[in-house]
């Protein structure tokens, strides 16, 4: 559980550091701006990359958690989301999420809806 909370933060920080270094290196060599502007642009780009990485990892963890918690197969995931079964291979009892990242919000919403209806059925 602790690993799942730290992993998105660590991956986001690594992504932010790499993007900051890349932006600073590119802007200082090509545009020769004032160092204050370079650092400001680097921080802005780093914040964007941090948030992208953080939320992608959080979505991946949530999708895998719901699939494992409800013992969903690739067929069930394909039926719930409306995507092809080949997007949800399961190896060693773990979901390998190879669906395009642009589909992840749709997958996550469909699985949250499935989880809500499944919990309501269990209460009845």
pLDDT at residue 57, as a whole number = 93
Ramachandran bin of 74, using left for φ above 0, alpha for ψ from -120 to 50, beta for the remaining angles: alpha
Per cent of the chain over pLDDT 70 is 98
pLDDT at residue 32, as a whole number = 83
As given in the structure block, the two tokens for residue 111 are 């699985």
**How many angstroms separate the CA atoms of 78 and 74, rounded?**
6
C-beta neighbour count of 112 within 10 angstroms: 13
The pLDDT tens digits of the residues spanning 84-117 come to 999 999 888 889 989 899 999 999 999 999 999 9
pLDDT at residue 2, as a whole number = 72
pLDDT at residue 46, as a whole number = 98
pLDDT at residue 124, as a whole number = 65
pTM summary value: 0.81
């Amino acid at each position: 559980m602790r690993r799942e909370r730290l992993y998105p933060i660590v991956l986001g920080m690594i992504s932010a550091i790499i993007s900051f270094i890349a932006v600073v290196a590119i802007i200082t060599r090509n545009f020769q701006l004032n160092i204050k502007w370079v650092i400001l642009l680097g921080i802005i780009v780093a914040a964007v990359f941090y948030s992208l990485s953080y939320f992608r990892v959080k979505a991946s963890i949530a999708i895998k958690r719901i699939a494992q918690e409800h013992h969903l197969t690739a067929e069930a995931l394909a039926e719930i989301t409306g995507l092809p079964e080949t997007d949800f291979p399961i190896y060693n009892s773990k979901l390998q999420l190879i669906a395009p990242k642009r589909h992840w919000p749709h997958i996550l919403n469909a699985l949250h809806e499935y989880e809500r209806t499944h919990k309501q059925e269990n209460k009845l």
